[in-house]
């Protein structure tokens, strides 16, 4: 059995519009300590992250505490919306969830994000079969992964999750089959959602 703990990043500083370099807020940095606490007894063998700063910084303290390097996997990055700042992000997100192929001319569709993330995940599962893995990730990227294994997960679920930062989703995988998905709200004592 392979256990994958996806860690959706803690609260980012939206005043920084550079998606790649957007840091965590002070609260986000404090909440990242909850991630470390939750993962401390999970016998983690490898820590992987998206290349985006907020994802790395959410798992960095934990990796340091257990003496693991963070392996960066570019394909776990968040969806590219486009080269413009979207003021009405909710309408844009809803349209993408209604049509998995919808995208701006210089952005990615949810199908493209899902394909990219699942390809990266399958590679990780091959490399670390039977291990306990942490993957620092993002809300939309993680939502498309959940949707791949559970097609009932859609826009309404994404909306409910949107403000939960950080958020942990544990997937148990046997060979190439996901047999269980547990959504964990570490801000509320680590209870399952």
Q: Is 108 annotated as a binding residue?
A: no
Q: Is 9 annotated as a binding residue?
A: yes
Q: Is 8 annotated as a binding residue?
A: yes
Q: Is 10 annotated as a binding residue?
A: yes
Strands 70-72 and 46-49: parallel
Q: Is 3 annotated as a binding residue?
A: no
| CA-only gyration radius of the chain, Å | 16
Q: Is 54 annotated as a binding residue?
A: yes
How many angstroms separate the CA atoms of 95 and 1, rounded? 36
Q: Is 11 annotated as a binding residue?
A: yes
Q: Is 111 annotated as a binding residue?
A: no
Q: Is 98 annotated as a binding residue?
A: no
**Binding positions for substrate:** 8-15, 54
**Binding positions:** 8-15, 54
């Amino acid at each position: 059995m392979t256990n994958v703990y996806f860690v959706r990043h803690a609260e980012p500083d939206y005043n920084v519009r550079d998606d790649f370099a957007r840091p965590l807020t002070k609260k986000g940095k404090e909440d990242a300590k909850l991630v470390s606490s939750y993962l401390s007894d999970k016998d983690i063998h490898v820590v992987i992250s998206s290349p985006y700063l907020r994802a790395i910084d959410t798992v960095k303290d934990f990796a340091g505490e257990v003496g693991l390097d963070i392996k960066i996997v570019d394909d776990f990055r968040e969806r590219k919306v486009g080269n413009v700042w979207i003021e009405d992000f909710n309408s844009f997100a809803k349209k993408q969830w209604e049509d998995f192929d919808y995208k701006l001319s210089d952005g990615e569709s949810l199908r493209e994000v899902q394909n990219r993330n699942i390809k990266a995940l399958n590679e990780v599962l091959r490399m670390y079969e039977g291990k306990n893995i942490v993957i620092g990730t993002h809300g939309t990227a993680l939502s498309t992964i959940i949707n791949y294994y559970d097609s009932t997960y859609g826009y309404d679920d994404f909306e409910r999750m949107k403000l939960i930062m950080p958020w942990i989703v544990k997937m148990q995988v046997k060979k190439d089959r996901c047999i269980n998905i547990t959504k964990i709200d570490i801000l509320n004592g680590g209870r399952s959602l």
